[in-house]
Structure 1
């Protein structure tokens, strides 16, 4: 696999499930120089070939994950009317509750979808008040909207602290893998626009046949630097290879999925690719819809940080593939597509990858066959 084609390389797909490399990072902090170099080489290979990796030895205890999962369950079990009261006043505000069928993630790439995505979500993120003295703009750092649900906020805050710590540790490993000082990315992330999105693919309250273009979550790349993903071991998540084929991904027990975002692809001139992924309506082996939960912690960088290609990633005599941009501008363009329905015209390379993807669907009885599935509580 070339360093910029985004293919899955020699990673085998058994029964359609991609072999996403499992990397133990427990020895990073206190490891020898040789051990750290070997770990960074593993990460670089995964970033070049798949764009996803499974992290083991992340140090997040099971009880923190369990408390967080319980909080997520309690929130999504609330009546729809109560959840809807927690919607942001404008879709441009990336906070609060998102009901089913109100977003089209593919519009973040400028590619229209046949129908709205089926997932529901709840977002919290970095607030301006968290960085006193910096006078950060509320438009980029809006206040969170919290439900009156006992135990919810402490569990979510704890998960944000844990996932955010892992994301920052990964940027240190990334820097080492790219031949940079370990703290290279710190000035770009000291008031990072981090967001936690809790996703729920609910069971149907009635039998419903979906059209074949219906998505649990439409195809997209993640917008920022790195994503830490907690997810049920339920089929649905798929990633796109460089030949236009989709592959299922299931997290290994005890692992967290980590994937690269657009800004890291821009920094590395596509040496590391922001991998296209989607979520099919989750179903079991008999094609019956099943419930699925996930939570993506997006480590996106400072709103005012300028992202331009790292000099070592531009071959001599060539120009960078991406013009410089700021984190705030890039995120606003992406969110205007997915949340506000305004097609993003500034992702031509990603849009071309999606349009070139093969449109085949899984065989009947596998994830996303599109039968007998649909969201609950749809008004």
Structure 2
């Protein structure tokens, strides 16, 4: 069911099998929820197996990403959106993820393509376009099958994310449907990443990040990634650790919303991606796709029952999920430092910039 970190000093991301959650006995559910709670308190990352997403869906996504990212730069740039619209294409060196924490760094190397819940496609739902803007799909003749493959992955990853919120609620001693009213109109986004250099550049500059250090903004992230080194997460002792997903596993990490809801009982863990390079400093292929299940834009995050010790103040003031996400995106995409991330930025600024290689 679950493989927890060993008791020695090695840092490991727990592997948790969720395949039998729906049919498990009460005792089995309690054991799995306990393992999730342990991982959420100590690591903030999990490796999920038994997720039920067919291999072909992941294979089709990878093929679709390769097709899109191999397009000529002018075709991709035609799909760029303004910084406040979290859709479309982002070229290399256009974002600084660390500014979502208010910490400046050189521009990140990744290029990305974002899609999400499209409020304009559901006029009867009255979803505000500020949080649910229209998607910008590439022309079908340039990327045959791209939209179908991406939408299939979006649906499967979203199903897993919603299952995880039920498991999370159980692990926190809440009703399994506790998060449903906060997620029935969730601001969900899929960000497909490719690590690339701008045209004309052949080697990675010193101190350049593939993706700068950050925490994720919402409730939970479901990550598909190549088994290529680069991803690092910050351990509770303040040191960076390399992480590779197990074969067939999806990496899952908690976002700021859960950290704030639990008053930091659960961790929204800092992570980053080093540029994947060969021995000569040339960038090698690394792809990932992060499904962000962020919650309703108007859901207010305030501490859950029992998460604030008696006679103490909460670590964070109440905030609407949409407001929090907007401040984070203004940092990473619009390059306006986020001033509401002092606890997260303090962890980054005191981190030891070495890893356990």
Task: Give your verdict on TM over 0.5.
Answer: yes
Equivalent residue, structure 1, for 2:331: 337
Q: Shift of the alpha carbon at 1:244? A: 1.7
Q: Determine which of 62, 83, 93 is the counterpart of 2:85.
A: 93
Equivalent residue, structure 2, for 1:151: 145
**Distance in 2 (alpha carbons) for counterparts of 1:360 and 1:135:** 48
Equivalent residue, structure 2, for 1:217: 211
**Distance in 2 (alpha carbons) for counterparts of 1:284 and 1:233:** 15
Q: How does 1:262-341 map to 2 (within 5 A)?
A: 262-284=256-278, 288-341=282-335
Equivalent residue, structure 1, for 2:157: 163
Q: Shift of the alpha carbon at 1:208? A: 2.2
SS in 1 for 2:112: strand
Q: Determine which of 58, 63, 78 is the counterpart of 1:65.
A: 58
Q: Shift of the alpha carbon at 1:207? A: 3.6
Equivalent residue, structure 2, for 1:54: 47
Q: Determine which of 67, 74, 83 is the counterpart of 1:74.
A: 67
SS in 2 for 1:301: strand
Q: Is the 8 A contact 2:120 2:129 kept in 1?
A: no
Whether 2:49 is the aligned partner of 1:37: answer: no
**Distance in 1 (alpha carbons) for counterparts of 2:8 and 2:242:** 13
Whether 2:112 is the aligned partner of 1:118: answer: no
SS in 1 for 2:306: helix
The unaligned stretches of length 5 or more in structure 2 are none
**Distance in 2 (alpha carbons) for counterparts of 1:155 and 1:309:** 38
SS in 2 for 1:254: coil
**Distance in 1 (alpha carbons) for counterparts of 2:342 and 2:27:** 40
Equivalent residue, structure 2, for 1:245: 239
Q: Residues 272 and 131 from structure 1, CA distance in 2 versus in 1: closer, same or farther, beyond 3 angstroms?
A: farther
Q: Residues 337 and 161 from structure 1, CA distance in 2 versus in 1: closer, same or farther, beyond 3 angstroms?
A: same
**Distance in 1 (alpha carbons) for counterparts of 2:43 and 2:103:** 23
Q: Residues 111 and 25 from structure 1, CA distance in 2 versus in 1: closer, same or farther, beyond 3 angstroms?
A: same
Q: Is the 8 A contact 2:166 2:179 kept in 1?
A: yes
If the length of structure 1 is used for normalisation, what is the TM-score? 0.89
Task: Give the stretch that moved more between structures: 176-185 or 18-27.
Answer: 18-27
**Distance in 2 (alpha carbons) for counterparts of 1:162 and 1:333:** 28
Q: How does 1:184-263 map to 2 (within 5 A)?
A: 184-202=178-196, 207-211=202-206, 213-263=207-257
SS in 1 for 2:354: coil
Q: Shift of the alpha carbon at 1:131? A: 4.5
**Distance in 2 (alpha carbons) for counterparts of 1:206 and 1:167:** 38
Q: Shift of the alpha carbon at 1:315? A: 1.1
Q: How does 1:136-147 map to 2 (within 5 A)?
A: 136-147=127-138
Q: Shift of the alpha carbon at 1:241? A: 1.4
Q: Shift of the alpha carbon at 1:359? A: 2.5
Q: Is the 8 A contact 1:9 1:49 kept in 2?
A: no
**Distance in 2 (alpha carbons) for counterparts of 1:229 and 1:146:** 21
Q: Is the 8 A contact 1:235 1:283 kept in 2?
A: no
The unaligned stretches of length 5 or more in structure 1 are 1-7, 367-379
**Distance in 1 (alpha carbons) for counterparts of 2:350 and 2:277:** 26
Root-mean-square deviation (CA), in Å?
1.7
Q: Shift of the alpha carbon at 1:30? A: 1.0
Equivalent residue, structure 2, for 1:372: none
Q: Shift of the alpha carbon at 1:311? A: 1.8
SS in 2 for 1:311: coil
SS in 1 for 2:222: strand
SS in 2 for 1:29: helix
